[in-house]
Chain A
């Protein structure tokens, strides 16, 4: 019954001679939340950017549902409509209010009428708990609020899958919770998500599968329990131990 939404086969990305990652195979099934973890510089972000065609892989294929999006004749603007992306630095349109940020894709890409687009946009802002901030400009919102608007903006396009590229890494500690809460809710609602994060609490609680990426290849993947309590690979154990220590005791006792 598990239907693959995203299928990555044998994907390799190089900058010149240096491979950012190589021969990545990854499948994301409908409704799954997959969390990618790993040290910085191992190609996690680049992998997400490849999936969204913001950069191009050198080898391998990616399918969204049954469509090969790495194919030459593929219309990348169409593909991106179906893939929501949330960035580390929010990347809201600073000259537009929260509402207009969410509406822009609806009116200019989906060509919805203004009132229908507004209704849809308000619905999405409501989903992230920011309906009362609709008239605020990004510069008037906190980081956490900005990131939630960015999530609403991506959700408004009714994507098949949501990509999160370290969505809480640029946030003050006390603002991280509200963003994770929204993501947790999305996962429960059955949204298909591919998340790069260092938030181990979120990974352990929400992920259906955790993928440990290091030096450009997948070292190990499995359920949170498998990875956290019975890692097969020594590197996985070391990394998780390090990062859990770094992020403190709150991760324990579960």
Chain B
């Protein structure tokens, strides 16, 4: 079958799937961001026991395959009485997993901002948490953007595993097209193009964000810091 024709025929389906993929990416990213930030703060500033929990969490979720986590949530949790829908399971697995990676990005940039800014904040009478909130985080969250930009892009592609629990994402649509047309090469190449376009747009958006948030006078951060 002509590759273009296949693409045209399944395009509405692919677009629907791409929508699901973007949703999964967005939700996973947000859950991962919030939880990741909490984990990074806990690991950087928490008391010992909290640090230990944060480290344990990060090592656990980075140390096991996402697919295993996804199956544990979707197939495993029902046996302890928690049954989640496919979509919720997918959101949760992606979010919990992404949190572990995002936490490490955040921790890195918090460390880079360093204890001297903490000292400066404390010296004018700000409490520890106020210093973190008003001084450390605004700088750390800017500094982290170039490295953190890997995460949305990596996550967008990683979402493809969720078709294994029958979430109708882009990958699931590709599989359907492949079955319908007996043309796996054409089908998977077609969705590869769709993924590529999404990544391209996302990348462009992230570069824009990086430019917008740069601190005046620190355009060459690495040189000045």
Interface residue from B119, B120, B126, B216 paired with A109 (Cβ < 8 Å): B126
List A contacts of B120 (CB < 8 A).
87, 91-93
A250 interface residue (CB < 8 Å to B): no
B138 interface residue (CB < 8 Å to A): yes
> Do the beta carbons of A137 and B215 come within 8 Å of each other?
yes
B180 interface residue (CB < 8 Å to A): no
> Do the beta carbons of A138 and B123 come within 8 Å of each other?
no
B130 interface residue (CB < 8 Å to A): yes
> Do the beta carbons of B142 and A109 come within 8 Å of each other?
no
List A contacts of B135 (CB < 8 A).
93, 104
> Do the beta carbons of A54 and B117 come within 8 Å of each other?
no
Interface size on B, residues (CB 8 A): 22
List B contacts of A28 (CB < 8 A).
none
Distance in Å: Cβ of B68 to nearest Cβ of chain A:
40
A108 interface residue (CB < 8 Å to B): yes
Per-residue contact bits, chain B 96-132, to A (CB 8 Å; 1 contact, 0 not): 0000000000000000000011011111111100100
Per-residue contact bits, chain A 80-104, to B (CB 8 Å; 1 contact, 0 not): 1100010101011111000000001
Distance in Å: Cβ of B143 to nearest Cβ of chain A:
10
B134 interface residue (CB < 8 Å to A): yes
| A105-B124, A137-B216, A139-B216 known; A54+B134 contact, CB < 8 A | no
> Do the beta carbons of B218 and A104 come within 8 Å of each other?
no
Of residues 16 through 35 on chain B, the ones whose CB sits less than 8 Å from some CB of chain A are none
List A contacts of B134 (CB < 8 A).
104, 108
Distance in Å: Cβ of A180 to nearest Cβ of chain B:
21
Q: What separation, in Å, do the CA atoms of A52 and B125 have in the docked complex?
A: 10
| A95-B138, A139-B224 known; A153+B216 contact, CB < 8 A | no
| A94-B139, A95-B138 known; A139+B217 contact, CB < 8 A | yes
List B contacts of A139 (CB < 8 A).
215-218, 224
Distance in Å: Cβ of B221 to nearest Cβ of chain A:
9
> Do the beta carbons of B125 and A157 come within 8 Å of each other?
yes
Per-residue contact bits, chain B 127-168, to A (CB 8 Å; 1 contact, 0 not): 100100011001100100000000000000000000000000
> Do the beta carbons of A54 and B123 come within 8 Å of each other?
yes
Q: What separation, in Å, do the CA atoms of A87 and B120 have in the docked complex?
A: 8
Of all chain A residues, the one with the shortest Cβ separation from B119 is A54
A77 interface residue (CB < 8 Å to B): yes
List B contacts of A87 (CB < 8 A).
119-120, 123
List A contacts of B121 (CB < 8 A).
93
Of all chain A residues, the one with the shortest Cβ separation from B215 is A95
Q: What separation, in Å, do the CA atoms of A54 and B121 have in the docked complex?
A: 11
> Do the beta carbons of B216 and A140 come within 8 Å of each other?
yes
> Do the beta carbons of B126 and A105 come within 8 Å of each other?
yes
Q: What separation, in Å, do the CA atoms of A153 and B224 have in the docked complex?
A: 22
> Do the beta carbons of A89 and B218 come within 8 Å of each other?
no
Of all chain A residues, the one with the shortest Cβ separation from B128 is A77
List A contacts of B224 (CB < 8 A).
139
List A contacts of B124 (CB < 8 A).
80-81, 104-105, 109, 153-154, 157
Closest 7 CB pairs of A and B: A139-B217, A81-B125, A91-B120, A140-B217, A105-B124, A109-B125, A85-B123
Could you give 23 example pairs across A and B, Cβ below 8 Å? A52-B123, A54-B123, A77-B126, A77-B127, A78-B125, A80-B123, A85-B123, A91-B117, A91-B123, A93-B120, A93-B135, A93-B139, A95-B139, A104-B126, A104-B135, A108-B126, A108-B130, A109-B125, A137-B216, A138-B217, A139-B216, A141-B217, A157-B125
